[in-house]
Amino acid sequence: MKIYDDKHYNPRRKQMIRLSIAIAIAAAAILFYIFAPQFESEPPKAALISEPFWNGDLELDLKITDNRAIAKYEIALLDTIEADAKEIKIASGDGEGRNEIALKIKMPDKAPLPKKRAALIARISDASWKNFGDGNFAEVKIDIEMDRRAPIVNIVATSYAISLGGSALAIFEAKDENLKEVSVKTRNGRTFVAAPFHKPNFYVALIARGIKDTEFTAYAVASDRAGNQNRARLPLYLKDTRYKESVLPLTKDFMEGKVDDLNFRYNPRYKEISQLEKFIYVNEDLRKESFDLIEKYTAPSKLPPAENFTIGAFRPLPNSKMVAGFGEHRIFTLEGKNVSESYHYGVDLASVKEANVFATNGGVAVFAGDNGVYGSMPIIHHGLGLFSLYGHCTDLKIAQGDNVRNGEIIGTTGITGFALGDHTHFETRVQGVPVSPLEWMDSAWIRANITKIEEEARKIIDGRSSN
DSSP 104-119: EE-PPTTPPPPSSEEE
Please choose, from the candidates 405, 359, 406, 363, the residue with its C-alpha nearest in 3D space to the C-alpha of residue 384: 363
Range with the largest mean pLDDT of 102-111, 253-262, 409-418: 409-418
Mean pLDDT of 435-439: 98
> Which domains occur in the chain, in start order?
38-146 (2.60.40.730), 152-241+450-466 (2.60.40.10), 245-435 (2.70.70.10)
Phi, psi of 83, rounded to the nearest 5 degrees: -65, -30
- Cβ neighbour number for residue 86 with a 10 Å cutoff: 11
Indicate the SS3 state at residue 90. strand
Indicate the SS3 state at residue 434. strand
Check residue 414 and report its DSSP letter: B
Rounded CA Rg of the chain: 35
Looking only at the bridges linking them, the beta strands covering 161-163 and 237-239 are parallel
Mean pLDDT of 250-271: 90
Decide: 85 and 79 in contact? Cβ < 8 Å: yes
For residue 6, is pLDDT > 80?
Answer: no
Q: Phi-psi bin for 161: left (phi > 0), alpha (psi -120 to 50), beta?
A: beta
pLDDT at 132: 58
- Please give the mean pLDDT across all residues of the chain: 90
DSSP 128-159: -STTTTT--EEEEEEEEEE--PPPEEEEEEE-
Phi, psi of 249, rounded to the nearest 5 degrees: -70, 135
Measure CA of the first residue to CA of the last residue in the chain; give whole Å: 119
- The Cα 74–Cα 125 span in angstroms is 9
Instruction: Please calculate the CA angle 119-122-127 and round it to the nearest 5 degrees.
Output: 170
Mean pLDDT of 68-92: 85
DSSP 160-216: SEEETT-EEEEEEEEE-TTEEEEEEEETTS-EEE-EE-SSTTEEEEEEE--TT-SS-
For residue 5, is pLDDT > 70?
Answer: no
Q: What is the pLDDT of residues 126-173, one digit of tens each?
A: 888 676 567 889 999 999 998 999 999 999 999 999 999 999 999 999
Range with the largest mean pLDDT of 92-106, 279-293, 299-313: 279-293
Higher pLDDT, 209 or 42: 209
- The Cα 39–Cα 31 span in angstroms is 10
Decide: 145 and 226 in contact? Cβ < 8 Å: yes
Q: What is the pLDDT of residues 312-368, one digit of tens each?
A: 999 999 999 999 999 999 999 999 999 999 999 999 999 999 999 999 999 999 999
pLDDT at 36: 47
For residue 116, is pLDDT > 80?
Answer: yes
Q: How far is CA 143 from CA 43, 65, 116, 139, in A?
A: 20, 19, 11, 13
Q: What is the pLDDT of residues 290-300, one digit of tens each?
A: 999 999 999 98
pLDDT at 129: 67
Helix (H), strand (E) at residue 420? none
Percent of the chain beyond pLDDT 70?
Answer: 91
- The Cα 458–Cα 269 span in angstroms is 57
- Cβ neighbour number for residue 317 with a 10 Å cutoff: 24
What is the number of alpha carbons within 13 Å of residue 407 lying toward its C-beta?
0
pTM: 0.85
For residue 307, is pLDDT > 80?
Answer: no
Q: Quick one: how far is CA 102 from the chain centroid? A: 24
Q: Phi-psi bin for 254: left (phi > 0), alpha (psi -120 to 50), beta?
A: alpha
Decide: 340 and 332 in contact? Cβ < 8 Å: yes
Q: What is the pLDDT of residues 7-34, one digit of tens each?
A: 555 677 767 767 677 676 665 555 544 5
Mean pLDDT of 279-287: 96
pLDDT at 29: 54
Check residue 393 and report its DSSP letter: B
For residue 3, is pLDDT > 60?
Answer: no
